[in-house]
Structure 1
Amino acid sequence: MNKNKLKEQWLSEEKKSFEGWDFSYITKRVIGEPLPWDYDKIVRQYLIKDFILLDMGTGGGEYLLTLNHPYSNTYVTEAYPPNYDLCKRKLSPLGIRVRQVVDDANLPFENSMFDIIINRHESFDIHEINRILKPNGLFITQQVGGQNNKELAEYLLGSFEEITNSDFALDRTIEWIRGIKFKVLFSNEYFPRLKFIDVGALVYLAKIIEWEFPSFSVEHCFEQLCKLQSTIDRQGFIETKEHRFMIVAQKAV
């Protein structure tokens, strides 16, 4: 193991730019376990052309555009400034309405405005979802649970003050949603395994999802990264446990 060469490579990965919510750069360097549900299939099952649609946390609109929903019936939110700017350049010219949102409890929309709200890996306030959905409106969300990458983050960083809520999970979220009279039409939870076939892919990911790897850097975690490299040299991969759950809920009349 040439540590100096590895460090140089990892520092290069750490500096890579990231735009939208597109992880294609590392697609061939990670092996993900399939979820027991299909977010896209579920969304398309409920989406009707006449529906007024909101995509929360759209990233760069990558997934949204695959739906081919009428642009005049489509709204998106995005909090991260570079992605918001990207959406303004990419989606606004199509007629899709783009809104920057930094406060989940204060969404810039009228009461009972949307037929369907989709949300993949974006935070939300169910009271605001309830406010802006029409009666019988649908809320479809896939969330990253609080146990996501927890063991790997603790290995790399040791003891740290958690930013994410480790108790964030399906049962508590369903309880919260049902508390304001939503009907849950579908729910599931799973802990898939994700394999990295090189440490550089982990470095790239950890810098992006900084809320799960607070204060991560190659310099700070170098010795731990070298140990992970030894594991890859021995078995061909390193593994982390992810946490996902899915809910389809309908607002009461």
Structure 2
Amino acid sequence: MGTGGGEVLLTFEHPYNQTSVTEGYLPNYHLCKKKLEPLGITVKFVEEDDVLPFSENSFDIILNRHEAFRLDEVHRVLKSGGIFITQQVGCENSRTLSKRLLKKELEVDVRNQLTYQLEQARKIGFEILNSDEFYAQLKFFDAGAIAYYASIIEWEFPGFSVDRCLEGLTELHQEIEEEGFVSSVEHRYMMVLGKS
């Protein structure tokens, strides 16, 4: 799910005729069609991961890194004995830094955290095979690096521009001058779920 350009997928060396991928970002989808389909890999476009374009009980394993998903849809397309492996960016990612920079609370989906997802997985009938959650510290040593970071992760810093956020950037710059760095939280979680 969320294959990007397919570079990581190809390192798995899984039989191409037994591999299917989804991608929802149009430029990456076209890249996958051009690069992966000639190898025999099935490529499907998904606008939303609410509905996966595959029949029930299609897959032994589904891999997902940082792509949206709906657990009931994943459960539907997995075969009995199948496994879903996902690593996600959690709802606390960059939240404090975003608030300091934008001067307003970042709207997040609080369901995007491990405890909620595991609870939902159990309700659907998944067996929890493994799970973990981690809050890493990301340090910035320069206000320019913060500005660059905020400009490329627009969903965590909506409406960011240097002009609009000059007050926040100036405050963060001052903190870097005094403390040596500004830190931000990187929130990640992973789950390995099995379907009976």
Q: How does 1:1-253 map to 2 (within 5 A)?
A: 56-160=1-105, 162=107, 164-252=108-196
| Cα distance in structure 2, aligned partners of 1:197 and 1:71 | 44
Structure 1 residue 185: deviation in Å? 0.5
Name the aligned partner's letter for residue 156 of structure 1.
L
RMSD, matched Cα: 1.9
Aligned residue for 1:17? none
Structure 1 residue 234: deviation in Å? 4.4
Distance 1:218 1:96, change over 3 A: farther
Name the aligned partner's letter for residue 153 of structure 1.
S
Structure 1 residue 91: deviation in Å? 2.4
| Cα distance in structure 2, aligned partners of 1:156 and 1:238 | 12
Structure 1 residue 168: deviation in Å? 2.3
CA contact (8 A) 2:127 2:195 kept: yes
**Identity rate of aligned residues, in percent?**
52
Gaps of 5+ in 1: 1-55
CA contact (8 A) 2:99 2:106 kept: no
Tell me the TM-score normalized by structure 2.
0.90
The count of aligned residue pairs is 196
Structure 1 residue 160: deviation in Å? 4.6
Structure 1 residue 92: deviation in Å? 2.5
Distance 1:161 1:201, change over 3 A: closer
CA contact (8 A) 2:127 2:193 kept: yes
Structure 1 residue 112: deviation in Å? 0.7
Gaps of 5+ in 2: none
| Cα distance in structure 2, aligned partners of 1:186 and 1:245 | 11
- Secondary structure of the 2:63 match is strand
Distance 1:124 1:240, change over 3 A: same
Tell me the TM-score normalized by structure 1.
0.71
